[in-house]
Structure 1
Amino acid sequence: MDIEAFIQRFAAGLDELEGLAPAAARARYDALCAGLAPHDPAGLRVEDTRLGGVAVRRFLPDGARPGRVLFVHGGGFTIGSIRSHHGVAASLAAHLDREVISVDYRLAPEANYAMMLADCRAVAETIAPLAMVGDSAGGRLVMDLAASCAHAPPLGLIYPPVGGLDASTLGPDAPLLSRDDVLSIGHSCPTALPVAAAAQPPGLTLHVLSVEHDPLTAPLEAAIEHWRDAGASVDYRCAPGMVHGALHAHALLPEMHSAWQAFCQALKGSL
């Protein structure tokens, strides 16, 4: 698959969500993302359960090394689930050779941002993760979760929205995610994004993956400069030609596949 074919397929799927009730839109989104995911790696055990009172999906590779990794999915705080991001979490577990715990946190409009963060914190406190990884909106949650930790573990951040997003900081519109899409987060989940960028990095060891065509990339790269100046170790890579959401099809898109593998291997080296 090339990137244009992915964009057309994903855009058509997103268009079908318009006007649907939240439950129906979420189910359609789950199916859209699952249709792009690879088969589970061999020897991977998957289990749905609850930890800290929150629904989670466990991904446990055969012979996994000790320790667990927390994964928090994206979806703009309104859609996304352990089902939509099953392929990403399964691949992460296989690459890291660790158990990955994917959190099915509550979503807007039924829940506010504090409730989402509380769900993630409840799971994190239960498993004491070796690392925390977040995709898009999940990256924002992981950053805020880490900020409340006395000693944050290594973080994996995949095209996250950072604080202080406005018309002056965002990059240009891109396929699948426009500037207006980003700014609309303020309506769907008002407290998800702080009005100013954080002065301190969210952790001391950060692994960051972005894509070339994404309005979130420019402010993210500016934040990375500040984090490095503040003393954080930041391993950063940007997948050329890729767009926001391309991680779902990482097995089908060579550039995304390469960047994802490098991201996972670098993160593994920090565990």
Structure 2
Amino acid sequence: MTSVSTVPDVIAWDNPPHLGPRGTVVVVPGRGEDPRLYERFGSRIGADAYRVRAVADPTRWEDDVTGLIRRLRADGELPRPFVLAGSDAGALFAAGLAASGEVAVDALLLAGLPTREADAAAAARPWEDELGTRTACPTHRGRLETAGRVEHGALYTPLPPRWFERADLAAVTVPVLALHGAADEISPLDRVRPVYAAAPAAELVSLADGRHDALNDISHRTSAATVLLFLERLRAGADAPAIAVREELHP
């Protein structure tokens, strides 16, 4: 990715003008990622009347990103519920902000969450191999190969140990939706299960044959649909009855 000294602008996808906004989702990208990579996800969630904002890579602009998220949380034009979402390092960063109480959120959406053990064992790979570990989606691969959209090799940069210490999901009392590729080699599913098991209110959804970029992988439509179902349940409240119930056809 081309070196940038200033923090990239917040990218916005809004609800259609004829629909009232139903909530806000703030996306925190992963290592080396440009926020524009989340256009497909943001526009899809936005089309269903949620306001989506994508901030910069927190591994490059940690303090600035924290400040941006706080300002978005305080923005009276952005409706509640306020959901903090993240992918890869962005997921770990988002979990840390919520667990520490630095930012008040109504829910977390975490995709491809790194674990301490997996991060320590990660070894850099050639760019073509890195693409394969990120996604099996040809469209997303093309976007990743566009100049300036992602920093090659950044995915294997070790994350600060204090990020793992701060992201204690046992301290997160709001609902958590976790999306994770079943074939994620960067953060294997078996290693992330116990991390989510510590959370009081977490739901872990694995994506068959999914790679690390769970929001942008070949199953991106399923990921977006799962997120929308979660958001609608969140709006109804924790004590509300289920919106859709799978009925048994055979006793």
Q: TM-score range by the shorter chain?
A: 0.5 to 0.7
Task: Tell me which amino acid in the other structure corresponds to 2:15.
Answer: L
Which aligned pairs between 1:78-89 and structure 2 lie closer than 5 A? 78-81=32-35, 83-89=36-42
Query: Counterparts in 2 of 1:226-237, with a 5 A limit?
Result: 226-227=198-199, 232-237=200-205
Local SS of the residue matching 1:176: helix
Runs (4 or more) in structure 1 with deviation over 6 Å come to none
Change (3 A) 1:164 1:257: same
SS at match of 1:117: helix
Q: Secondary structure at the match of 2:14?
A: strand
Matched-pair identity in %: 14
Among 51, 63, 84, the residue aligned to 1:99: 51
Q: Match of 2:208, SS?
A: strand
Q: Quick one: distance in 2 between partners of 1:196 and 1:263?
A: 25
Q: Quick one: structure 1 residues 225 and 195, their matched pair in 2 at CA, closer, same or farther if it must change by over 3 Å?
A: same
8 Å CA contact 1:106, 1:119 repeated in 2? no
Q: Structure 1's 72 and 22: CA in aligned 2 closer, same or farther, altered over 3 A?
A: same
- What is the Cα deviation at residue 122 of structure 1? 1.9
- 1:33 counterpart residue number: none
Counterpart position of 2:112: 159
State the alpha-carbon separation in 2 of the partners of residues 133 and 199 from structure 1.
14
Structure 1 length-normalised TM = 0.60
Counterpart check, 1:72 vs 2:27: yes
Provide structure 1 residue ranges, at least 5 long, that are not aligned to the other structure.
1-16, 24-53
CA-to-aligned-CA distance 1:57-79 (integer Å, 9 cap, x gap): 24222433444313214231x33
What is the Cα-based RMSD across aligned positions, in Å?
A: 3.4
Residue 151 to residue 99, structure 1, CA distance change in 2 (3 Å): closer
Separation in 2 of the partners of 1:162 and 1:128? 32
Shift of 1:223: 1.0
2:168 is the counterpart of 1:198: yes
Deviations 1:87-129 (A, max 9, x none): 111112224x3222x13336554x3x23322222222222464
Secondary structure, counterpart of 1:185 in structure 2: coil
- Give 2:3's aligned amino acid: P
Q: Normalising by the residue count of structure 2, what TM-score does the alignment of the two structures yield? A: 0.64
User: SS of the counterpart of 2:133?
Assistant: coil
Q: Is 1:263–2:227 an aligned residue pair?
A: yes
Equivalent-residue separation in structure 2 for 1:197 and 1:71 (angstroms): 18
1:211 touches 1:241 (CA, 8 Å); kept in 2? yes
Greater fraction of residues in strand: 1
Write the letter of the residue equivalent to 1:104: V
Gaps of 5+ in 2: 123-128, 135-152, 236-251
State the alpha-carbon separation in 1 of the partners of residues 169 and 51 from structure 2: 33
Partner amino acid, structure 1, of 2:234: S
2:201 maps to amino acid: S
The answer on 1:138 being equivalent to 2:90 is yes
Paired with 1:73 and 1:144, the residues of 2 have a C-alpha distance of 12
Classify 1:108/1:237 alpha carbon distance in 2 versus 1 (closer, same or farther; 3 Å).
closer
Task: Report the CA distance shift for 1:192/1:91 in structure 2 as closer, same or farther (over 3 A).
Answer: farther
- Alignment partners' CA distance in 1, 2:169 and 2:175: 16
Equivalent AA in structure 1 for residue 98 of structure 2: A
3-state secondary structure, aligned to 2:230: helix
